């Protein structure tokens, strides 16, 4: 009532707020807190509220969920709602993502919507597969033409997430031709149709690029140099997936000088590397100093390689090892504690470490270890510590209560 008075809005003489004359700004503010379904119900109450429901500010973000009952347990966005959005709000959309299940129909539906986003000026676009990558099952041309609609029309794309899609070099050229000034984030892990030249074109032209995610086969010395050029902003994150396609695959090496250039240009940048290799494919890696900060071994990695990690990764912040095998990693862990002075998170799965060495490791790292996730089976009791007292020792050195991760025993 007070607000109404101040704005000279007419209000009823009775006590209480007059709902029908709440200013649009207030309605908007309230509606922003409501989930979509509740907002939709509210929009049925009266004309003003219906108008508020359709205000552009409420349609900046949308996540299209495309699921088929035969392939998913989750509900899909209602087709009528999708139609309405395209009809009335496509030019309001700025931050859009598509979540698709493993069916081809869902990926096709996503492309269908994309092709209609002609009046959009998107800032963010995310194509997310929630299960098997169904975008890869589409005919490439179909996908590319839908994606190109957005690239050409948006002209101010800032964040683009297109992992596991059949995007290719020519479409990246289109992206660059229209959005080079604004592109800041590009995630494209596992895009098999892109070549190192294709991504190099992006790095050369998009000088504002701050975050990049791709597979190792796209990484080249030229790319790193391009990202370190004077015109380029400081890179913040680089995520690289190293995945084995065939056993005995040979991986190329990146020169130390290229990494050095990166670190010089962007001293604070984070390098996240996920390895999914057979044990004998690590040959080219961890020979020279590598500025990796977050390291995940998604398959078994040898003791030898973990030893090399200690020697070559001084910037390491997080180390996660899925499996190693059954030889104790005592020396390797101690070395990592000594030389990776930034290490604050470690996870060990199917590995073995003697209790004494583990306590030593924790002592050396002290309370900088904020994440310590060790499977119970990893710790091998020795003459000094048993399984029942080790958590106590470790907790002392960490400065907080700690237990290993447990798995149920039937």
Partner 1 sequence: MVVNTIHWFRKGLRLHDNAALRDSIRGSDTLRCIYILDPWFAGSSNVGINRWRFLLQCLEDLDSSLRKINSRLFVIRGQPTDVFPRLFKEWHINRLSYEYDSEPFGKERDAAIQKLASEAGVELMVRISHTLYNLDKIIELNGGQPPLTYKRFQALINHMEPVELPTETITAEVIKKCVTPISDDHDDKYGVPSLEELGFETDGLTTAVWPGGETEALMRLERHLERKAWVANFERPRMNANSLLASPTGLSPYLRFGCLSCRLFYFKLTDLYRKVKKNSTPPLSLYGQLLWREFFYTTATNNPCFDKMDGNPVCVQIPWDRNPEALAKWAEGRTGFPWIDAIMTQLRQEGWIHHLARHGVACFLTRGDLWISWEEGMKVFEELLLDADWSVNAGSWMWLSCSSFFQQFFHCYCPVGFGRRTDPNGDYIRRYLPILRGYPAKYIYDPWNAPEDVQKAAKCIIGVHYPKPMVNHAEASRVNVERMKQIYQQLSCYRGLGLLATVPANPNNGSNANIVNAGSGQIPGSSVEHTSAQEGPSRTGSLSATCWIFNTSYEKHGWIPLDYIEVLSPCFLF
Residues between 300 and 339 that touch partner 1 (CB under 8 A): 300, 317-318, 320, 322-323, 325-326
Chain length of the chain: 410
CB atoms near residue 17 (< 10 Å): 14
In this structure, the strands spanning 294-300 and 185-187 are: unpaired
CB of 373 to partner 1, least distance (A): 5
Span near partner 1 by CB under 8 A; candidates 40-48, 106-114, 148-156, 236-244: 236-244
Span near partner 1 by CB under 8 A; candidates 42-50, 79-87, 238-246, 256-264: 238-246
Rounded to whole angstroms, the Cα distance separating 364 from 77 reads 52
Rounded to whole angstroms, the Cα distance separating 131 from 67 reads 11
Span near partner 1 by CB under 8 A; candidates 11-19, 160-168, 307-315, 330-338: 160-168
* Nearest residue (CB) to partner 1, 114 versus 295: 295
Where residue 155 falls (left for φ over 0; alpha for ψ -120 to 50; beta otherwise) is: left
Q: How many CA atoms lie within 13 A of 272 on its CB side?
A: 11
The position carrying tokens 């649009």 is 24
CB of 170 to partner 1, least distance (A): 25
Which listed residue (9, 342, 373, 384) binds partner 1 by CB under 8 A? 373
Q: What is the DSSP letter of 15?
A: S
CB of 182 to partner 1, least distance (A): 10
CA proximity to 172, closest of 148, 150, 192:
148
Span near partner 1 by CB under 8 A; candidates 47-55, 94-102, 255-263, 331-339: 94-102
Span 106-145, contacts to partner 1 by CB under 8 A? 123-124, 126, 128-133
CB of 239 to partner 1, least distance (A): 7
Judged by CB under 8 A, how many residues of this single chain contact partner 1?
94
Distances (CA, A) of 256 to 158, 224, 283, 291, 294: 31, 11, 16, 10, 18
CB of 350 to partner 1, least distance (A): 6
Which listed residue (52, 117, 150, 184) binds partner 1 by CB under 8 A? 184
Long-range Cβ pairs for the range 289-295 (8 Å, 24+): 289/256, 289/259, 289/313, 289/314, 290/259, 291/259, 291/262, 291/263, 291/315, 292/316, 293/317, 293/318, 293/342, 294/270, 294/318, 295/319, 295/320
CA proximity to 214, closest of 196, 233, 232:
196
CB atoms near residue 301 (< 10 Å): 24
* Nearest residue (CB) to partner 1, 4 versus 243: 243
Span 140-159, contacts to partner 1 by CB under 8 A? 158-159
Q: Does 173 bind partner 1 (CB under 8 A)?
A: no
CB of 387 to partner 1, least distance (A): 6
CB atoms near residue 70 (< 10 Å): 8
Give the Cα-Cα-Cα angle 275, 325, 282 (nearest 5 degrees).
35
* Nearest residue (CB) to partner 1, 66 versus 223: 66
Span 22-41, contacts to partner 1 by CB under 8 A? 35-37
Q: Does 407 bind partner 1 (CB under 8 A)?
A: yes
CA proximity to 189, closest of 239, 223, 244:
239
* Nearest residue (CB) to partner 1, 25 versus 38: 38
Span 265-294, contacts to partner 1 by CB under 8 A? 270, 272, 274, 276-277, 293-294
Span 205-224, contacts to partner 1 by CB under 8 A? 211, 213
CB of 102 to partner 1, least distance (A): 5
Which listed residue (43, 72, 165, 258) binds partner 1 by CB under 8 A? 72
Span near partner 1 by CB under 8 A; candidates 80-88, 171-179, 224-232, 368-376: 368-376
């Amino acid at each position: 009532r007070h607000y109404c008075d101040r704005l000279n809005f007419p209000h009823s003489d009775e006590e209480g707020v007059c709902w029908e004359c709440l200013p649009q700004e207030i309605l908007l503010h309230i509606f922003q807190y409501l989930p979509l379904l509740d907002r939709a119900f509210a929009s049925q109450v009266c004309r003003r509220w219906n108008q508020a429901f359709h205000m552009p500010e409420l349609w900046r973000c949308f996540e299209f969920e495309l699921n088929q009952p035969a392939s998913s347990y989750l509900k899909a966005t209602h087709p009528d709602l999708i139609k309405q959005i395209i009809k009335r709000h496509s030019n309001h959309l700025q931050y859009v993502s598509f979540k698709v299940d493993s069916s081809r129909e869902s990926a096709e539906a996503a492309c269908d919507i994309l092709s209609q986003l002609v009046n959009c000026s998107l800032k963010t676009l995310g194509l997310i597969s929630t299960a098997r990558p169904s975008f890869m099952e589409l005919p490439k041309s179909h996908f590319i033409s839908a994606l190109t609609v957005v690239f050409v029309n948006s002209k101010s794309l800032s964040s683009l997430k297109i992992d596991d899609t059949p995007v290719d070099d020519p479409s990246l050229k289109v992206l660059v031709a229209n959005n080079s000034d604004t592109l800041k984030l590009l995630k494209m892990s596992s895009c098999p149709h892109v070549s190192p030249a294709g991504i190099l074109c992006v790095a050369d032209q998009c000088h504002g690029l701050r975050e990049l995610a791709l597979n190792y086969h796209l990484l080249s010395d030229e790319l790193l140099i391009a990202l370190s050029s004077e015109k380029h902003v400081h890179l913040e994150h680089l995520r690289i997936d190293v995945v084995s396609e065939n056993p005995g695959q040979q991986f190329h090496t990146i020169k130390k000088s290229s990494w050095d250039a990166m670190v010089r240009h962007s001293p604070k940048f984070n390098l996240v590397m996920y390895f999914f290799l057979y044990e004998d494919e690590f040959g080219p890696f961890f020979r020279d100093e590598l500025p990796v900060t977050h390291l995940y071994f998604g398959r078994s990695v040898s003791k030898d390689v973990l030893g090399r990690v200690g020697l070559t990764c001084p910037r390491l912040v997080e180390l996660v090892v899925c499996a190693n095998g059954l030889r104790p990693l005592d020396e390797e862990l101690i070395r990592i504690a000594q030389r990776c002075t930034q290490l604050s998170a470690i996870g060990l799965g199917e590995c073995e470490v003697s209790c004494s060495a583990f306590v030593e490791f924790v002592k050396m790292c002290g309370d900088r270890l904020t994440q310590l996730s060790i499977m119970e089976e990893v710790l091998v009791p020795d003459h000094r510590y048993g399984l029942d007292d080790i958590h106590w020792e470790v907790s002392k050195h960490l400065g907080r209560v700690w237990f290993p991760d447990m798995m149920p025993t039937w």
